[in-house]
Each structure stands twice: as structure tokens, then as C-alpha cells.
Amino acid sequence: MGNGPMGGPAGGPAPMPGFMPAGDAAAANNAAQNAKQKKTTTYIIIAAAAALALIAIVVVVLLLFSGGYKQPINKAIGLANKQSSDVGAYLDCVAPSYVSTAYKDLLGCIKGGDAKKELDNAIKDGFEDIFDEFEDEYGKNWKISVEFKKATRLKKKDLKEIQESYEDLGEALEKAKLDDDDIWDKISDAVDDEYDSEINTDKAIKTVETLIDNLGKTKVTDGYDVKMKLSIKGKDDDEDTTVTVKVVKANGKWFIDPLSLGSEAGYSVSSLISMLSMLSYY
């Protein structure tokens, strides 16, 4: 039997406007749920990528323009002068060691397909854009140098505030349910659909759980406000500026505290926590 012009059986009544047969309604509902799930995973992936970009690019820009406490600064500037796009190496300069470990472990959860390649390309493109801007502004063969001016030891209350900011981030990650099975199943499905890659969700969840635990156990034992003059010089032009950054020692390691750079970069610890908390709604 053929169909009439309104989708009903020929010679029979056409469906009323706004009405759908039960079978079609169920199919449409399933399609809507799938679309919503795909949108949810897209939000999560975008948010995760944004967080990574914030850590990698904001810190590099601030360092470029803006043995103890000097070591992470010198290392970061050395990476920039080599025009490195190794996020893990930068993280070693600007975060507790467990953060770079978590980053590398999460990358190790991705197998096959194009996901890791696309992520690598996106990161390299971000760094290349920055380095190209430096070349446009200062000319070829630009280099950055640092002259340390003054180091003022942080007070105990300052160290406590910094330590609490890492604890707050750990709580925000937990509230965002980034250690939840359902979220990682959705991420895995989305990555499989988009990049034909697999994610070891059990390992990813364990990595996030360990990261949350380590954030809560961070012990900040020493630190300095380091005032320094940063200079960048290329073939065509040069510039220098004086900046102050906090360098802290946590869990036995010295690093530039990225959370204390927030005010100069236009973000705050509270804004990062708010962004992570939003993930719990998707």
C-alpha cells in the first residue's frame, strides 16, 4: 500500500499536525538522545582542550613577555628559545611533577586512529602562531634572556594560600565528575566516532583520580616573589620588560606557580574552578 501526501496510508487519515506514531516517536526520541549525548561529549572535549591551551599558551606568553628557584625560569626560557611545542616539558616548569605525569599518562590512554595526531597538530599550531608573531614583531633569530633583579621569600600565609588553591582545584575536578565512568564512556564514544581512536577509560579514570588525590596532598613548603627583567631581541627589533612571578617549592620540586599568574593573564583561580564546575552540568 502506498503512502498519502501527509505520510499516512493512501486512502487513510493523515497524521495530525504535532502527532507521530509510537514507533516513529520512539525513533525520534532515540535520535534526540544520541544528538544530546554527542553534544555533551563535544562540550567536555572542548573544555578539556581549552584547559590545556590555557596552561600551555598563557604560561608561555607570560614568560616571554612578562639550582633553586631560578631553574624553572631558565628552563622555560630555554624551551621558548628552541621554539619547542613540548607541553609536557613546559608543564615540568610550571606545575608540580604529578601534573606533567598525569598529562603524559592521559596521552598514553589514546590508542590508534587520528586523535593523538590531531591533538599534537593543534598544540603545535598554537605555539607556532605565538613564535611567528615574535618573528613578525622582532625579526628572525629572536632570543629571550633574563636578568634576575630581586627575590623576596614568601610568608607562611602566602604559601598556605597557594597550597589551598591546589586543593580547591582538586575539589573542582572531583565536582566536575571527571573521574566518572559515564563521562569517560561518552568521551571514548565521541573520540571513536570522530577520530577512530580508542581510549583506555579505566586507565584514564585512575589517572584523574590520582591527579585529584595529589592536588589535595600538595605541600607548598617554600617560595619567592621573583622580580626579573625579560628581554627579547631579534634581527629587526628588541624589547624588555620587568615582571614579578611566584616560584614555589611543592612536594620537593621548584616550579613557576601558574595559578599566581592569573591576574596578569586576565583569569583567576576562581574562574578556572567555575569552568571546571560547569562540566558537571553536561
Span 106-135, mean pLDDT? 86
Which cell goes with 16? 495530525
Q: CA-to-CA distance for 31 and 35, rounded, in angstroms?
A: 6
- Helix (H) / strand (E) containing 52: helix 22-53
Q: CA-to-CA distance for 87 and 121, rounded, in angstroms?
A: 12
Q: Give the residue with greater pLDDT, 271 vs 27.
A: 271
Contact 122, 215 (CB under 8 A): no
Q: Give the residue with greater pLDDT, 123 vs 154.
A: 154
Q: Report the pLDDT value the prediction gives residue 3, as an integer from 0 to 100.
A: 39
State yes or no: pLDDT of 281 exceeds 80: no
Q: Give the residue with greater pLDDT, 157 vs 80.
A: 157
Provide the pLDDT confidence category of residue 261 given band limits of 50, 70 and 90. Answer: low
How does pLDDT run across 133-185, given as a tens digit for each residue? 889 999 999 998 989 999 999 999 999 999 998 998 888 888 877 778 888 88
Which cell goes with 88? 609536557
What burial letters (b/e) apply to 177-186, b meaning 16+ CB within 10 Å? ebbeeebbeb
Q: Report the pLDDT value the prediction gives residue 234, as an integer from 0 to 100.
A: 93
State yes or no: pLDDT of 129 exceeds 50: yes
Asked which of 114-128, 171-185, 233-247, 250-264 is least confident by mean pLDDT, the reply is 250-264
